[in-house]
Amino acid sequence: MNSQSYGPLPETEARELLLVIFWLLVGHKYPSLSESAINLAVSSLAYVKNKTRPRLSVEQELRVALSTIPPRIKRLCSQKQAHVSH
């Protein structure tokens, strides 16, 4: 068997691989960036991308998980309209 018999990676797997490679490159390019920050990113990726959501695109979820800006839950909820039944 050669590697060509498997075909190209599905789009979600390719994006995940690119995210992992990105964080590895960040660690090499910016050695002063703490190892714990990179570990947090990889750990967050693993949490967001668990067995129950195998096809989930993780870019947006990872951005939220790594953000230092606290969410304004009350404001978000106040902007939503309740869905009433018919």
Q: Where are the domains of the chain?
A: 9-78
pLDDT tens digit at each of 86 positions of the chain: 444 445 555 676 777 777 777 777 877 787 777 677 777 777 777 777 775 566 666 777 777 777 788 878 888 888 877 777 76
Which residue has 């998980």 as its token pair?
A: 65
DSSP state of 49: S
How far is residue 59 from each of residues 20, 48, 51, 62, measured CA to CA in Å?
Answer: 11, 10, 17, 5
* pTM confidence score: 0.37
Closest to 16 (Cα-Cα) out of 53, 57, 44:
57
Which residue has 């790594």 as its token pair?
A: 66
pLDDT of residue 78: 86
